[in-house]
Structure 1
Amino acid sequence: MNRLKQIAEEIRSKNTKPIYFLMGEEAYYIDKISDFIENNVLTEEEKGFNQMVLYGRDVTIEDIVANAKRFPMMSEKQVVIVKEAQDLSRTIEKLADYAENPQPSTVLVICYKYKTIDKRKRLGKIVAQKGCLFESKKLYENQVSDWIGSILKQKGHRIEPKAAHMLVEFLGTDLSKIDNELEKLSLILEEKTLITPLHIEENIGISKDFNNFELRKAIGDKEIVKANQIVQYFAQNPKSNPLVMTISLLNSFFTQLLLYHGLKDKGKINVAKSLRINPYFVPEYQRAAKNYPMRKVAQVITRLREADLKSKGVGATALPQGDILKELLFKIIH
């Protein structure tokens, strides 16, 4: 985030680099920087003749270089943006010759999504020296909730940990998808709203009572009636609650619980750090650890693996997913 702010500030100050090589697994930040350059380097009047967008599948490195070497018309700068540049991965190193001696009046933006170049090779070294080499790394699941909080803070809102966790569970770690939903919430809600699970349920369509987060909590606390109610709901709504997702999240929970049992220091701060969770959720693990000793946790992980195989048709051809989940719940709790 700090690097992103630094790049934005440089662009606002007209201190642009001749080449921006944006790469990495997380497309969100690549798009953000590219869009910021597209919207802020040139005026609307200058864009007509001096801003172009190319696509990696349609051009060669030679085409990109030829466009980058053009002189701007009635403007100090021209902007050349190459989207989906990862389609040029086999020849991308050929861009090093241009990067060595870039056109000063051109801002060349290379959007190299889902991949990275070798920083030790010539292109990486030159861009890092003469331009901007930005790597957008994928956030771990435990980092996304904090990211949601920071984005909403910029929009003038706050969010409860449970509400943020619901978003991550439902939308995964795709930051672009999450940001779209947060933008919708910002437009709907009043300024400085504390976003709760009820807001998520009413505006995004995720049930605050019947979701994987609540199922995990009910299983951890051995609230049998509540866990069965959620599983029954899942069985009736399989498309909205795919079994593979439920098994994956439960497996992560019990794997973390296994790590918890192995910790010498079970203080709140150390548990949160070791398990990579928000301190808000530590009591949930402390209660679950009392209900599931280490040996039982190991057994549950085995049961989860068996259920995963059944969900994929191994040893349980055509067995409804709801039945697999009900059987799994019985084996976990008993």
Structure 2
Amino acid sequence: MAKQEITYEDILKELKAKQYRPIYYLMGEEPYYIDLISDYIIDNILTESEKEFNLSVVYGADVDIATIINAAKRYPMMSEYQVVVVKEAQNIKNMDELSYYLQKPLNSTILVICHKHGSIDKRKKLAAEIEKAGILFESKKIKDNMLPGFIALYLKKRGIDIEQKSSAMIADFVGTDLSRLTGELEKLIITMPAGQKRITPEQIEKNIGISKDFNNFELKNALLERDVLKANRIIKYFAENPKANPIQMSLSILFNFFSNLMLAYYAPEKSEQGIAQQLGLKSPWQAKEYINAMQKFSGVKVMQIIGEIRNCDAKSKGVGNSGTAQGDLLRELVYKILH
């Protein structure tokens, strides 16, 4: 049986229960979770008075592995623990030499290694030694179709609800940069009227600058409803506001949706639960859109649409395009999707 990977929730649960490990090696392409865990350790394990002598935060560009090991071998002063945090650890050479320290790490030291935009080879000895002594956590990029679920859960923890359309608007506009995404969500929380506990499209339009009527969420809905007039109105708006509505964003969203729709056809069970499991969706309700789309587009048509989106993408980058405007390219794509 494959070993279940540890999640950031597992790590935070342990930390909140004051169950500490000698080493936390936090790595991966998504900086958000690395910062979330390391910031919690910095802010919560030591008291303010203990931090003065027992908290060390260093950067990979300024230290070598020997310096880090020497820091980890120190004993705390007037405290049960000392915390050593290494940020930007991807800049450190000879990280394998950390193995010497891990043979017998100090239980009074909490060593946090923050290795962003990459990872160590899990097949190597160092990875096994980290897992034996403490935590090896890989922070992976979130998939586009998981963003609405992330947004809803983030806000739920703050006691705030969000409409499905609002969630999709933010996800489409911001993308998978979770640090920026949570920043936009915090902006919305701050600007919410007193007593309001639900984020609406109108609030997003006012505070983030996304049109509640002319956006990729509405374009996708127009295609699913086969509403030619609505789709063309949105495309006209996009053409008149190209900086806020670049064609590449629209093509990416449409490509991801129809690619997932193609995968949905291969789900062993075509129920909301079955399709959610097939696509890796956090909530079964997110599968309703795909079930609706399967009633409007055959599998063969979806394959054709994916091909047309790729062709449009190439033309938008100048391949085989003698000067057709991006708005016209998108209008042509919508025609081919609906006919």
Does TM, normalized by the shorter one, top 0.5? yes
CA distance in 1, matches of 2:279, 2:123: 34
Letter of the aligned partner of 1:149 in structure 2? A
Question: 2:203 is matched with which residue?
Answer: 199
Taking structure 1 as reference, are residues 79 and 257 closer, same or farther at Cα in structure 2, changes over 3 Å only? closer
1:233 to 213, 233, 237: 237
Taking structure 1 as reference, are residues 15 and 249 closer, same or farther at Cα in structure 2, changes over 3 Å only? closer
2:173 to 165, 170, 181: 170
For each residue in 1:12-31, what CA deviation from the matched residue of structure 2 results, as whole angstroms up to 9, or x when unmatched? 45442221111122211110
For each residue in 1:154-177, what CA deviation from the matched residue of structure 2 results, as whole angstroms up to 9, or x when unmatched? 101112222212221111122212
Moved more, 184-193 or 156-165: 184-193
Are the counterparts in 2 of residues 50 and 77 from structure 1 also a CA contact under 8 Å?
A: yes
Letter of the aligned partner of 1:299 in structure 2? Q
* CA-atom RMSD in angstroms: 2.5
Taking structure 1 as reference, are residues 42 and 120 closer, same or farther at Cα in structure 2, changes over 3 Å only? same
1:324 matches 2:314: no
Shift of 1:286: 4.4
Report 1:199-218 matches (<5 A): 199-218=203-222
1:145 matches 2:155: no
SS in 2 for 1:299: helix
1:268 to 269, 272, 285: 272
Structure 1 segments (4+ residues) deviating >6 Å? none
Moved more, 227-236 or 69-78: 69-78
| 5+ long unaligned stretches in structure 2 | none
Question: 2:32 is matched with which residue?
Answer: 28
For each residue in 1:242-270, what CA deviation from the matched residue of structure 2 results, as whole angstroms up to 9, or x when unmatched? 11121122122223333445567543333
SS in 1 for 2:61: helix
1:244 matches 2:251: no
Letter of the aligned partner of 2:256 in structure 1? S
For each residue in 1:86-123, what CA deviation from the matched residue of structure 2 results, as whole angstroms up to 9, or x when unmatched? 122x5111111112222333221100122222334322
Moved more, 137-146 or 24-33: 137-146
Taking structure 1 as the reference length, the TM-score comes to 0.89
Taking structure 1 as reference, are residues 3 and 164 closer, same or farther at Cα in structure 2, changes over 3 Å only? same
Moved more, 93-102 or 259-268: 259-268
| 5+ long unaligned stretches in structure 1 | none
1:98 matches 2:101: yes
1:306 matches 2:301: no
Are the counterparts in 2 of residues 157 and 191 from structure 1 also a CA contact under 8 Å?
A: no
Taking structure 1 as reference, are residues 2 and 17 closer, same or farther at Cα in structure 2, changes over 3 Å only? closer
Question: 2:91 is matched with which residue?
Answer: 87
Taking structure 1 as reference, are residues 215 and 72 closer, same or farther at Cα in structure 2, changes over 3 Å only? same
Aligned pairs, number: 333
1:126 to 122, 126, 129: 129
Shift of 1:228: 0.3
Shift of 1:69: 2.1
SS in 2 for 1:82: strand
CA distance in 1, matches of 2:202, 2:123: 49
Taking structure 1 as reference, are residues 264 and 64 closer, same or farther at Cα in structure 2, changes over 3 Å only? closer
For each residue in 1:185-214, what CA deviation from the matched residue of structure 2 results, as whole angstroms up to 9, or x when unmatched? 222224661223223222222222111111
Taking structure 1 as reference, are residues 161 and 279 closer, same or farther at Cα in structure 2, changes over 3 Å only? farther
Taking structure 1 as reference, are residues 298 and 82 closer, same or farther at Cα in structure 2, changes over 3 Å only? same
For each residue in 1:254-289, what CA deviation from the matched residue of structure 2 results, as whole angstroms up to 9, or x when unmatched? 233334455675433333433445544555444544
1:293 to 286, 298, 301: 298
Are the counterparts in 2 of residues 21 and 127 from structure 1 also a CA contact under 8 Å?
A: yes
Taking structure 1 as reference, are residues 79 and 126 closer, same or farther at Cα in structure 2, changes over 3 Å only? same
Are the counterparts in 2 of residues 221 and 287 from structure 1 also a CA contact under 8 Å?
A: no
Taking structure 1 as reference, are residues 13 and 271 closer, same or farther at Cα in structure 2, changes over 3 Å only? closer
CA distance in 1, matches of 2:81, 2:272: 54
1:255 matches 2:259: yes
Shift of 1:82: 0.4
